[in-house]
Amino acid sequence: GNSVTQMEGPVTLSEEAFLTINCTYTATGYPSLFWYVQYPGEGLQLLLKATKADDKGSNKGFEATYRKETTSFHLEKGSVQVSDSAVYFCALSDKGSARQLTFGSGTQLTVLP
């Protein structure tokens, strides 16, 4: 079945540091890949997505590239801010009729001023 393995947290960085959160996946076929963010006390917000190999999703300074050869979708940001403190979830959708999402375990990011 499908699975998503995400970098263990929590991650603590200083403001303006470089961020990488690793995500690898196992799936049959060619899934769509997503990063969602959950700010404290809120629901999930879509951060970015990629639907095919070599696609790069980007939003709010965050980027992730769909790497089929390494089955990875690592999240990066060049300079984090305190407001980026949240839990980040990597997820995949198998594009089948069910179009269900499989989530990684989530990574708690804390950015210190």
Partner 1 sequence: SAVISQKPSRDICQRGTSLTIQCQVDSQVTMMFWYRQQPGQSLTLIATANQGSEATYESGFVIDKFPISRPNLTFSTLTVSNMSPEDSSIYLCSVLMGQGTDTQYFGPGTRLTVL
Nearest-approach distance from CB 57 to partner 1, in angstroms: 11
Nearest-approach distance from CB 79 to partner 1, in angstroms: 27
Distance of alpha carbon 18 from alpha carbon 107, whole angstroms: 15
Nearest-approach distance from CB 83 to partner 1, in angstroms: 18
SS3 82: helix
**Minimum CB distance to partner 1 smaller for 17 or for 71:** 71
49 within 8 A of 36, measured Cβ to Cβ: no
Residues that bind partner 1 (CB under 8 A): 32, 34, 36, 42-46, 49, 51, 89, 93, 95, 98-101, 103-106
- Runs of H (alpha helix) within the chain: none
What single letter denotes the amino acid at residue 17? Answer: A
**Minimum CB distance to partner 1 smaller for 17 or for 101:** 101
